[in-house]
Amino acid sequence: MKRICIKIGSNVLTKENGELNTSRIKNLVYQISSLRNMGMQCILVSSGAVAAGRSKIKLPEKTDTVSARQIWSSVGQVELLNVYSSFLKDFEIECAQVLVTKQDFRTREHYLNMKNCLNSLLNNGILPIINENDAVSVTALMFTDNDELSGLIASMMDVEALYLLSNINGIYTGNPNDINSALLETVNGDLNRLKQYISTQKSNFGRGGMLTKCSIAGRVAKSGIPVHIANGRIDNIVLELVKSPESVYHTSFTPSKKASTVKQWLAGSDGFEKAKLTINEGAEEALCSHKATSLLPIGVINISGDFEKGDIIKIVGSSGKVIGLGKTQYNKIKAESYIGKTGAKPLVHYDYLFLY
């Protein structure tokens, strides 16, 4: 069965005054129902809880920002899911609320539990509606935004495509309001070229901005999943993108060869590393070549931080450039005893290595 993930931003789901835009949610639900009738499994990552709560609960001015976000998200999430489930009832679709934190992606065991939960829901015809658990995730524990969350979900669930629905047609080659800016139809891996186009300007209720959307889309595409950024304010946009993408304004990120599920998990593990390993030029050249190469301890020149067998480490080149993430085959003490020596087994096997 074809499986897709749709992420919808706060700005698509809310009106100018911050209230939920129920007619837009109704249309999204219609699209999901139609996609399911076409034989597709859908996973929805929906923002909008904070905006919905803010429009409902007026807080005293002295309320600190963390508490305000906690109150608004927990109140707004109820409202959000109520609206979804009432529209879904018309199509006889059950939905499930899945609230996650960044910590849930930290260990492979926990990651697999989450994956099992989503697979079980999908296999029973239930629509998972995922959001960050904003009530308990604060500062360092937060996702950059729900684009990051949807990227991790897309990789974890090995979807056929990820649709990021925002309040704009896609990525423009400059300020989107400038008539000289053109819409980029495809992005083929060169993310640095994109960065020059994107301003830090954000939409009213959004969190991350277009820059994070782009780097996440790039990373997901690198792991083998096509990503489409499109305008969620246009009715039936996902249906159109599925049926005839060439007729709809949007930006597509071309996928690289599909990575294994372990590599996809590693691709989303930035920030979870226990240590940083600096490698020499020869090792960097070997890892970045087209050949499948494991990291041998002889190529390591420095280890900062401590790690046990099975932990995630970040690999950097001698110039400081981040090369990738890997899962270690032995602990730091053993790794240090092998530095500079030949004949040791790989510290990170190629199958457990994700290269940027």
Q: Which is nearer to ligand VHF, 211 or 344 (CB)?
A: 211
Query: What backbone phi and psi angles, to 5 degrees, belong to 178?
Result: -85, 125
How many residues touch ligand ADP under the rule CB under 6 A: the total is 21
Under rule CB under 6 A, residue 329 binds ligand VHF: no
Scanning the structure block, which residue is given the tokens 């070229």? 193
Q: What is the DSSP letter of 144?
A: S
Under rule CB under 6 A, residue 210 binds ligand ADP: yes
Under rule CB under 6 A, residue 9 binds ligand VHF: yes
> Which position among 42, 49, 51, 171 is part of the footprint of ligand ADP (CB under 6 A)?
171
Under rule CB under 6 A, residue 73 binds ligand VHF: yes
Residue 189: both structure tokens together: 């891996």
Task: Look at residue 131 and give the partner it binds from ligand VHF, ligand ADP, none, a contact being a CB closer than 5 to 8 Å depending on partner kind.
Answer: ligand VHF
Computed on alpha carbons and rounded to an integer, the radius of gyration of the chain in Å comes to 21
Q: Which is nearer to ligand ADP, 208 or 326 (CB)?
A: 208
Count of alpha carbons within 13 angstroms of residue 229, beta-carbon side: 30
Beta bridge partners of 163: 6, 228
Under rule CB under 6 A, residue 79 binds ligand VHF: no
What sign has the CA pseudo-torsion 152, 153, 157, 159?
negative
Q: Which is nearer to ligand ADP, 209 or 310 (CB)?
A: 209
Under rule CB under 6 A, residue 233 binds ligand ADP: no
What sign has the CA pseudo-torsion 71, 29, 227, 261?
positive
Window 179-208: residues binding ligand VHF (CB under 6 A): 205-208
Q: How far apart are CA 198 and CA 209, in angstroms?
A: 9
Q: How far apart are CA 356 and CA 110, in angstroms?
A: 24
> Which position among 77, 166, 215, 264 is part of the footprint of ligand ADP (CB under 6 A)?
166
Q: How far apart are CA 327 and CA 323, in angstroms?
A: 14
Q: Which is nearer to ligand VHF, 207 or 250 (CB)?
A: 207
Q: Are 127 and 44 spatial neighbours (Cβ–Cβ below 8 Å)?
A: yes
CB of 72 to ligand ADP, least distance (A): 16
- Tell me whether strands 186-187 and 251-253 are parallel, antiparallel or unpaired: parallel
146 is in an annotated binding site: yes
> Which position among 5, 40, 49, 259 is part of the footprint of ligand VHF (CB under 6 A)?
49
> Which position among 172, 265, 330, 352 is part of the footprint of ligand ADP (CB under 6 A)?
172
User: What are the Cα distances from residue 119, in Å, to 107, 169, 198, 271, 328?
Assistant: 18, 31, 36, 26, 28
Binding piece for ligand ADP, criterion CB under 6 A, among 103-111, 200-208, 215-223, 266-274: 200-208
26 is in an annotated binding site: no
Under rule CB under 6 A, residue 82 binds ligand ADP: no
Task: Look at residue 171 and give the partner it binds from ligand ADP, ligand VHF, none, a contact being a CB closer than 5 to 8 Å depending on partner kind.
Answer: ligand ADP
Task: Look at residue 311 and give the partner it binds from ligand VHF, ligand ADP, none, a contact being a CB closer than 5 to 8 Å depending on partner kind.
Answer: none
Residue 21: both structure tokens together: 């835009």
Binding residues for substrate: 47, 134, 146
